[in-house]
Structure 1
Amino acid sequence: MARVKRINPLLAVALTLAVLTAGFAAWSGWTWYAAADDESLAFAKTRDEVLAAGEQGVQNLNTLDHRELRRGMETWEKSTTGDLRDQLREGRPEFEKQVRNARTVTKAKVLSGAVTELDERAGRARVMVALRITVDAPKEKAVTKESRMLGALTRTDDGWKLSDLGQAPVGDTGPSAGE
């Protein structure tokens, strides 16, 4: 009679665990590689960069202290590009004079923001940013208001910069229910 050789149970368990571990490692590597090459992941990263730059730029352009006017205006210029930067530079002397005379301190805080449009290939994007703006003038009570701004951004060698900025419409602009 032929003798049947028994497999050591400990060896069988170890072999099974090794096969399972190798399979899990292969699956993990493949999913990691697929995620790293995923275009939607790259798009999401760009969207996050645009949102951060848009929120910071809008906040910068709504914050200005008459005591640190030069630094504030330099921050404005660093946050912008194109026609918007040109407009700021062109109007800077008169604007600085007005701010010095009024002696105001304006502080903006971003409440929320969203990317409303992103064209990576063209290097253009749009954002909407909600702000709380506080204006403090001498001998007057500080005034706080909430505002929604629409900004256009352009990709530059230095990152995303505001190329246009305006007030978002407020209220219902569509036809009324009875129309």
Structure 2
Amino acid sequence: MDHVELSAADLLLRPWQDGDAPAVLAAMRDPQTAQWNPWPLPDLAAAAAWVRARGDWSAGDHASFAVTDPATGELTGSVSLHRIHGDEASIGYWTVPAARGRGFASAAVRLVTGWAFGTLGLYRIELCHAVANPASCRVAERAGYLWEGTLRQSHRYGDGKRHDEHLHARLAVDP
């Protein structure tokens, strides 16, 4: 899969670059970000490996974007399509503390979803989040993902514990 950039009024979504590692490490040191993400990044080398893995789209099974401020280039978060298989995928996201509550996550999810349906030809995209993370539920709802149910103890998060998750999804035919 070829890299693309996607943009909206106050967002630029671009492929990850090696220079993003320090900002990713800083983001993962935020307790709330670390809580809802299962991959610990203990140092800059781990963050650099994380950035390289997400920047390599060659397998065609994911498309991961750094969410940035187009004016400053500052990292505001991440959004990734993952488990792309056939016409289905999953989507995930996080935001840096300074960007929370400003609509960046839901805007980025909407932008990637539209691209995935229009360009990649996907039909269904699933979004799961811990039930204990209501902010993520609001992102899903604002991005047009309908709630489909609760998955019991379906995912181990950054605290090492299994959490119930809400399953949301969008279909290409949804409004």
Instruction: Give the TM interval when normalised to the shorter protein.
Output: under 0.3
Which protein has the larger Cα radius of gyration, Structure 1 or Structure 2? 1
Of Structure 1 and Structure 2, which has the larger fraction of its residues in helix?
1
- TM-score, normalising length from structure 1? 0.25
Of Structure 1 and Structure 2, which has the larger fraction of its residues in strand?
2
- TM-score, normalising length from structure 2? 0.25
